[in-house]
Chains A and B, each alone.
Chain A
Amino acid sequence: MNKIKQKIVTSLAYAITTIGAIYFFFPIYWMIWNSIKPEITKNFTLTSIIFEPTLRWYELIFTPGSGMYIGPYIITSLIIALSSTAVIAVLGSLGAYGLTKLDFRFRDKLTLLVLSQRLLPTFAFLIPLWLLYRYTHLYDTILGLVIAYIAWGLPFFTWLMLGFFSEIPKEIEESAMVDGLSRLRAFWFISLPFVVPGLAVVSILTMISIWNDFLLAITLTERNVITLPIALTSNIQGMSAAGAASALIMSLPMMIAGIIIQRYLVRGLTFGTVKE
């Protein structure tokens, strides 16, 4: 009796997860389907699922002058995401180390202040930043957007790194310092090697959110700087074949990154409050 019940539960569980998987994967499948369909006018039908796939939309989006060329947007997005993540990684690692290993007044208050900055509505700091940018001519420049992303990503980064640094036993570093290592050297040679996996994960999470960002890019840039999310959503009504191919090119690296760090994803999403 119990065995039958067990079997029913298991099959029901499989049914639910499979329906879920179809639901979550279907839009991605639709995107792939659109990007390899032979003619731009071809509509999705149940019988058209099997056809001769073509890679010519992918060729087109990488051909300068084709009108669908996305090369410059990719480069802009890459420069912005990489450089702002690099600066965030330096400032955030130093800050997170300081907040966990150093002793000073207001430390706990400062820690909460850091986190609150990521939870507060983005618009509240974006409007004054926009006004400032108009004044300083940072508006619609790569530098301006990078600076904004640094401010936006730093609290999140610092906060997650905090968790990784606090997992290192204090004694290890202290004994090294007693042996004559300076604070900066102790950070570099003792603590940092411990948190390299964490550093990689948090950097990837930060980069995904910058790469995918739409709000800051649409408000702080206009004509000179066009990042991928803006380019792919402003011109394309719905999703043409080339649009789908571009969308896939933009999403694939992030999907792979997400899969690589999936063990830490929960921790990242919940600001370190739930650990797996």
Chain B
Amino acid sequence: MILLPNVVRTRTSDIIIFIIPMIVVLFALLIIPLIYSFWISLCELDLGIQSYLIPTFIGLGNYIRILTDKMIWNSFAITVEFVSISLALELGLGLVLALALLRIPRGVTFYRTIFLLPLTIAPALAAALFKSMLNSDFGVINYLIESLGFQGVNWLSDPSIVVFVFILLDLWQNSPFALLVFYAGLRSIPRSIYDASELDGASSFQILRYITFPLLKRIFLIVMIVRGLTLFQIFDYVHVLTGGGPGYSSQFISWTLYIYWVRLFNFGVASALSWLVLLVTIPFILYFFKFIIEE
């Protein structure tokens, strides 16, 4: 056992200087509000009540109301649909582009620079950008479609197409995430592994299936969890593109929550909804910790 000199030992004053400020912010602004929101979720609390601070306890009423509400179930359903399709396409597109990027001898920096640009644009702005591109009168997309001889599409007013627009927008903005991470991961696989297996006569597909994928598995899971958690809370896009419409076709779960909160001022239901979303995400967060602890 190595004895640490006295001066190196942690003192109480060190804790006060370094740790306490962070803990105070964390507890005052995140953890206590979180607990308070759980309390609200068990109460009836809306604008009609005299004081926000003295809500009426109603037990699981809000949760029961949510779980019996068809609209909210529908909201969950389209969110899950959107998340799974977007996630699969983001990962697929990211992987294809990363593999291609790995095989070009020159211009990697140029391509990488272009690929990372969408990530730096504000999501709300990206949505506004797509909205103008998809505009049926002056938008560029319909112009291109029509100049090819097809009928223009009512992108944002057709309930069966609108989720597709969200996916398209998300792919544009966020597949660079998977792309850049996969590229970093693929580059860390030593070239010699590929050369050896090529000598042994493995086909490109076999190399992909038996070498690349297993080595990428960890990275795949990390991207899936981080992206999945973010996608599940999709909000900016909805606010700018559709406001949940047409009808309820793009009423993702965060939007429903927002409506209950800011439009209906029903804080009880909104909080209960935020806790349900939280409960859905917790297993994924715990799973993500596995990768953290490995570090």
Among A1-45, those with CB < 8 Å from B are: 9-10, 12-14, 16-17, 20-21, 23-25, 27-28, 30-31, 34, 43-45
Partner of A125, one of B21, B37, B181: B37
CB-based contact A95/B22 at 8 Å: yes
Among B201-238, those with CB < 8 Å from A are: 219, 222-223, 226, 229, 232-233, 235-236
- Chain B contacts of A274 at CB under 8 A? 181, 184-185, 219, 222
1/0 per position for B15-54, CB-CB distance to A under 8 A? Answer: 1011101110110011101101100100000000000110
CB-based contact B143/A98 at 8 Å: no
Known contacts A112-B292, A121-B277, A128-B37; A208/B104 CB under 8 A: no
A6 to B207, CA, bound (A): 16
CB-based contact B34/A238 at 8 Å: no
A219 to B124, CA, bound (A): 14
Q: Answer whether residue B128 sits at the interface, using C-beta atoms and an 8 A cutoff.
A: yes
CB-based contact A128/B36 at 8 Å: yes
Among A209-243, those with CB < 8 Å from B are: 211-215, 218-219, 228-230, 232-233, 236, 238-239, 243
Min distance, Cβ B11 to any Cβ of chain A, angstroms? 7
Partner of A27, one of B101, B133, B229: B133
Q: Answer whether residue A114 sits at the interface, using C-beta atoms and an 8 A cutoff.
A: yes
Q: Answer whether residue B248 sits at the interface, using C-beta atoms and an 8 A cutoff.
A: no
A157 to B172, CA, bound (A): 26
Partner of A13, one of B101, B114, B139: B101
- Chain B contacts of A230 at CB under 8 A? 124
**Interface size in chain B (residues, C-beta < 8 A):** 106
Jot down 21 A-B pairs with beta carbons below 8 A, ordered by A.
Answer: A12-B100, A98-B18, A99-B19, A103-B9, A116-B285, A117-B31, A119-B229, A119-B281, A121-B281, A123-B261, A124-B274, A127-B271, A131-B40, A158-B22, A183-B11, A184-B17, A212-B122, A232-B124, A236-B128, A270-B222, A272-B295
1/0 per position for A136-174, CB-CB distance to B under 8 A? Answer: 000000000001101100110010000100000000001
Min distance, Cβ B287 to any Cβ of chain A, angstroms? 11
1/0 per position for A172-213, CB-CB distance to B under 8 A? Answer: 001001101001100100000000000000000000100111
CB-based contact B37/A31 at 8 Å: no
Partner of A154, one of B26, B138, B235, B291: B26
Interface size class of A (residues with CB under 8 A): 35 or more
Extra pairs beyond A151-B26, A274-B181 (17, CB < 8 Å): A10-B104, A30-B140, A94-B17, A119-B229, A119-B285, A121-B233, A123-B274, A124-B274, A124-B278, A150-B29, A236-B128, A239-B129, A244-B132, A251-B120, A259-B116, A273-B292, A274-B222
Contact segment of B56-64, B105-113, B157-165? B105-113
Q: Is the interface of A mostly helix, strand, loop or mixed?
A: helix
- B281 to A, closest residue via Cβ: A121
- B273 to A, closest residue via Cβ: A123
- Chain A contacts of B26 at CB under 8 A? 113-114, 117, 151, 154-155
- B127 to A, closest residue via Cβ: A233
Q: Answer whether residue A132 sits at the interface, using C-beta atoms and an 8 A cutoff.
A: yes
Partner of B52, one of A21, A28, A134, A273: A134
